[in-house]
């Protein structure tokens, strides 16, 4: 039985996986097992895992259909046999002595959890992130004597966990689709129940921030952070209610995370997030859970600003629109968004709608009802029986390329297909490209 089981969830990370695995098999502490769960990868990730497993007996691969990050982590935890568990995301990589330092601290202190720092890693460069700098070192902590632990960042992968502690408290991951902030509820369970937490300030891991497939770069996951906190609150409610300070610090952690995501999502989604945040904030204030002493000063100041004037806060803090495709998204509410979107199209000599399905037809109707113009529907491949739609010509993309510089094209399909069509338009020289999202689709 190994001392440490390292859990590695994997899903379509072929560009980063080898660096991750190399950092594990070359650890200075080698009494380990590496449990990799391939969550239905459609790239070469599965083949890479099998190749590494064939050359290192410490590495076990579990291939399964895609069921999401939370389920993958629970599967890995169920297979683990080590006295301790570590987690390494498959697009990150570890310092050579990460496990050695964590294990030595855990053994010496008899800790349930040891937590270290990390580097933010972007395009080959590291930046030290001192995320545990405000917590004392050299002593054991728990949430009852240090409720600030509930504010500890949910970086679950720069830690070492005693497996018996996780089993005793039945700490598991929330099984929701995809990779949608399930680390938050796991971390909250850990910090609430751990009786012996030990902090070290050494940076132990390189946290990749330039993976375009990260859940942080997927706006469709916007509200998952709210859902995750709701699930955690339902699961931990009885424990939180035993100490009002824990409840207050839970709330402080919640709004710190909400604001963190507010600043990281695209500008076209920020106002919707802010509306949800402000609603929950009013509810928590009425319950008496919002107390200044539990908050980091910067977060306290911001939620105060939101409570006083949410629109003013949005105008002051919303991200700058840097992409011409988002020019129509300088918005603060749905009505302004809608009007700005359609008004933007009038600046072009021709307007094309890419997609002649239900979304495209509704979009064209909405444009025409607002006295706009639709010169043609664009399709990737024209069928002989579809030369006209709604009495509007239907053209293949390449045939409209003559007007690429002066025309606007609105991609009228759901989010899942928009990127592919955008690449096609770019290939044919189109530059004034707009997308539809759920707000536009609801008003047309």
- pLDDT average, residue stretch 198-213: 85
pLDDT at 321 over 80: no
186 and 93 within one domain:
yes
141 and 90 within one domain:
yes
Boundary (domain end) residue, out of 211, 235, 257: 211
126 and 19 within one domain:
yes
246 and 171 within one domain:
no
Q: Residue 62, exposed/middle/buried by CB under 10 A (0-12, 13-18, 19+)?
A: middle
50 and 153 within one domain:
yes
245 and 303 within one domain:
yes
pLDDT at 291 over 60: yes
Check which CATH number belongs to the domain holding 116 and give it. 3.90.550.10
Q: For residue 318, give the nearest of 272, 274, 267 by alpha carbon.
A: 267
pLDDT at 322 over 60: no
DSSP 299-363: HHHHHHHHHH-HHHHHHHHSPP--SGGGGGG--SSHHHHHHHHHHHHTTSSEEEEE--SHHHHHH
Q: How many CA atoms lie within 13 A of 24 on its CB side?
A: 31
Res 304: pLDDT: 97
Mean residue pLDDT of the chain comes to 88
57 and 184 within one domain:
yes
185 and 115 within one domain:
yes
130 and 236 within one domain:
no
Q: Is 425 a member of any domain?
A: yes
Q: Is 330 a member of any domain?
A: yes
Boundary (domain end) residue, out of 261, 285, 317: 317
pLDDT digits (tens, 9 = 90+) for 267-284: 667 888 888 899 999 999
pLDDT at 197 over 90: yes
Q: Is 146 a member of any domain?
A: yes
Q: Is 219 a member of any domain?
A: no
Res 323: pLDDT: 46
Res 147: pLDDT: 93
Res 440: pLDDT: 63
Domain of 358, in residue numbers: 326-443
Calculate helix-pair angle for 297-308, 267-287, nearest 10 degrees.
Answer: 90
Residues 78, 166 contacting (CB under 8 angstroms): no
Q: Is 365 a member of any domain?
A: yes
312 and 167 within one domain:
no
Boundary (domain end) residue, out of 293, 317, 341: 317
Task: Place 438 in a pLDDT band, splitting at 50, 70 and 90.
Answer: low
Check which CATH number belongs to the domain holding 370 and give it. 3.40.50.20
pLDDT at 355 over 80: yes
Q: Is 407 a member of any domain?
A: yes
Checking DSSP bridges between strand 350-354 and strand 376-379, what pairing results, if any?
A: parallel
| The token pair that represents 124 in the structure block | 């080959």
**Count of C-beta atoms within a 10 Å radius of residue 122:** 13
Task: Place 437 in a pLDDT band, splitting at 50, 70 and 90.
Answer: low
Distance CA 311, CA 320 (A): 16
Distance CA 83, CA 73 (A): 17
Q: For residue 349, give the nearest of 375, 326, 371, 368 by alpha carbon.
A: 375
Distance CA 443, CA 337 (A): 10
Residue 409 has φ and ψ, to the nearest 5°, of: -125, 130
Q: Which of 6-20, 126-140, 166-180 is modeled with the greatest confidence?
A: 6-20
Q: Is 283 a member of any domain?
A: yes
342 and 276 within one domain:
no
Calculate helix-pair angle for 244-264, 297-308, nearest 10 degrees.
Answer: 80
Q: Long-range contacts: 54-61, Cβ < 8 Å, 24+?
A: 56/25, 58/2, 58/25, 58/30, 58/32, 58/33, 58/34, 59/21, 59/25, 59/33, 59/34, 60/33, 60/34, 60/35, 60/36, 61/36
Res 384: pLDDT: 59
Q: Is 424 a member of any domain?
A: yes
How many domains are there within the chain?
Answer: 3
Res 315: pLDDT: 84
138 and 232 within one domain:
no
């Amino acid at each position: 039985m190994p001392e440490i089981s390292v859990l590695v969830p994997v899903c379509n990370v072929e560009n980063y996986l080898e660096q991750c695995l190399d950092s594990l098999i070359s650890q200075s502490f080698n009494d380990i097992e590496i449990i990799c769960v391939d969550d239905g990868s459609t790239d070469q990730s599965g083949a890479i895992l099998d190749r590494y497993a064939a050359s290192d007996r410490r590495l076990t691969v579990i291939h399964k259909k895609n069921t999401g990050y939370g389920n993958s982590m629970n599967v890995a935890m169920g297979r683990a046999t080590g006295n301790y568990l570590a987690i390494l995301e498959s697009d990150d990589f570890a310092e050579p002595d990460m496990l050695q330092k964590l294990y030595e601290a855990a053994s010496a202190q008899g800790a349930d959890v040891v937590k270290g720092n990390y580097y933010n890693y972007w395009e080959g460069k590291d930046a030290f992130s001192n995320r545990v700098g405000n917590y004392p070192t050299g002593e054991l902590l728990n949430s009852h004597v240090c409720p600030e632990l509930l504010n500890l960042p949910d970086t679950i992968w720069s830690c070492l966990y005693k497996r018996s502690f996780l089993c005793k408290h039945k700490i598991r991951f929330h099984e929701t689709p995809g990779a949608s902030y399930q680390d938050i509820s796991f971390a909250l369970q850990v910090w609430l129940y751990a009786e012996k937490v030990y902090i070290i300030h050494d940076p132990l891991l390189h946290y990749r921030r330039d993976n375009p497939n990260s859940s942080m770069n997927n706006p469709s996951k916007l509200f998952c952070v709210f859902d995750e906190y709701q699930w955690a609150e339902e699961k931990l409610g009885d424990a939180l209610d035993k100490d009002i300070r824990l409840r207050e610090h839970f709330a402080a952690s919640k709004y710190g995370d909400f604001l963190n995501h507010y600043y990281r999502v695209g500008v076209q989604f920020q106002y919707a997030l802010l509306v949800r945040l402000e609603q929950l904030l009013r509810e928590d204030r009425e319950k008496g859970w919002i107390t200044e002493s539990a908050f980091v000063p910067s977060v306290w100041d911001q939620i105060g600003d939101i409570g006083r004037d949410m629109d003013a806060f949005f105008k002051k803090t919303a991200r700058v629109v840097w992409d011409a495709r988002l020019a129509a998204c300088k918005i603060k509410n749905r009505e302004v968004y809608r009007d700005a979107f359609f008004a933007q199209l009038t600046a072009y000599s021709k307007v094309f709608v890419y997609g002649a399905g239900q979304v495209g037809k509704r979009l064209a109707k909405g444009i025409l009802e607002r006295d706009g113009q639709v010169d043609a529907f664009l399709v990737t491949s024209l069928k002989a029986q579809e030369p006209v739609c709604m009495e509007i010509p239907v053209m293949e993309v390449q045939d409209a390329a003559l007007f690429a510089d002066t025309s606007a094209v609105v991609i009228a399909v759901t989010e899942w297909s928009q990127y592919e069509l955008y690449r096609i338009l770019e290939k044919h020289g189109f530059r004034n490209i707009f997308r539809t999202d759920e707000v536009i689709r609801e008003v047309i």
